[in-house]
Amino acid sequence: MAALAVAVPAVLAAVGVRLWWLLGLGVVVAAVGGVFAPALADGYRRAQERGEESSLALARHSLIRNVRDATDPLRLGVHPARHADPRGAAVGHAEGTGSGDRVPPYVPRDLHERLVELLAGGGFVLLVGESAAGKSRAAYEAMRAALPDHTLIFPDGKAVLPDAVERAALLPRCVLWLDDVERYLGSDGLTRTDVARLVDGDGHHRVVLATLRSAEMARYTDSAHPDAADAAEARQVLEQAIQLRLRRPLSAAERERALTRAWDQRIADALDHSDEYGLAEYLAAGPELLNAWENAWENAREGGNPRSAAPSIASAFLPLLWLGFTGPV
């Protein structure tokens, strides 16, 4: 430190500085720098370590890859369909996906072209619809069509969201995928500042692509809801998005498109039951689970042993309960 205090004034004098107060300031600056330099270096080292730990956590708990390479929609939250019936030529016809027969061919929804257009424009796009409407699959297919060369970042939970936002903000072309966006809202979750940081400004093309169930949207927008005060920030985040609504039942045009994919027996079966169930709802085997539940109870009522029926009821009820909360989106 003493050497630094001598060296700085000497350097200033050598370059022609003769003002005594400036030479004195150089001595003070050198002395202070000498005192705090180790602490500053240590702080920098700790910050670097924290950054490396955050990067490792993001890598462990997120999916980060090129959109073109994200060939398995199941990894992004799309619920699997029941396995293909051997009668149907489903295996190998999953239209570019890497998930085999668990993903049937995609039936483009009426909003597909509009969704592709919005994603191509950039910004915050939110797809809202009932559980089992097919939101995640529609978002996935539109993203693949509009943004194949973008980097996809899918944080697995709120804990790594800040690191995901930080990573996304450094990329010129990126998609932040927030399926079931309610998981990322609320305390310590996604903020208006996060969204603005990603999508505002020029010189980049970033997209925040999210899905949300209608029931969750109602919860955030209902001012009389008990959690309304806590939902204020979440509501303001959602208000920043361009929102599209996806209906669960197929329209006439969607039914026509589905007919061209009826070589997959699951699509054909879903069309046969389209008056009762939505396409995504049927493909996720919701009706099969409900039938198993009803059959188990009927067997118990018709003289079967209730205890022996209990495992069947439980095995049918638990997935059905899960489906009710999550839905094949």
Are 15 and 114 found together in one domain? no
Highest-confidence segment of 95-109, 150-164, 288-302: 150-164
Are 7 and 149 found together in one domain? no
Are 302 and 196 found together in one domain? no
* Gap between the Cα atoms of 98 and 50, Å rounded: 35
Question: What's at 98, amino acid-wise?
Answer: G
Q: What is the pTM of this model?
A: 0.68
Are 80 and 217 found together in one domain? yes
What's the CATH code of the domain at 101? 3.40.50.300
Are 138 and 226 found together in one domain? yes
Structure confidence at residue 320 (pLDDT): 44
pLDDT (tens digit per residue) in 46-85: 544 444 445 555 757 678 999 999 999 999 999 787 666 6
Are 267 and 214 found together in one domain? no
The mean per-residue pLDDT over the stretch 223-231 comes to 64
With vertex at residue 128, the alpha carbon angle to CA 292 and CA 329, rounded to the nearest 5 degrees, is: 30
Are 109 and 170 found together in one domain? yes
Are 223 and 294 found together in one domain? no
First to last CA, the chain: 64
pLDDT (tens digit per residue) in 30-50: 554 555 556 545 654 554 444
The mean per-residue pLDDT over the stretch 99-112 comes to 84
Highest-confidence segment of 85-94, 118-127, 232-241: 118-127
Place 136 in a pLDDT band, splitting at 50, 70 and 90: very high
| Domain final residue pick, 246, 270, 299 | 246
| Domain final residue pick, 58, 77, 100 | 58
* Gap between the Cα atoms of 218 and 4, Å rounded: 65
CA–CA distance from 272 to each of 240, 257, 277, 291, 295 (Å)? Answer: 40, 14, 10, 17, 21
| Domain final residue pick, 11, 32, 58 | 58
The residue segments making up the domain with residue 203 are 61-246
pLDDT (tens digit per residue) in 164-173: 999 999 999 9
Task: Say which residue, 323 or 242, is predicted with more confidence.
Answer: 242
Are 160 and 118 found together in one domain? yes
Are 212 and 131 found together in one domain? yes
- Number of structural domains in the chain: 3
Are 143 and 218 found together in one domain? yes
Are 12 and 124 found together in one domain? no
CB 291 within 8 A of CB 247: no
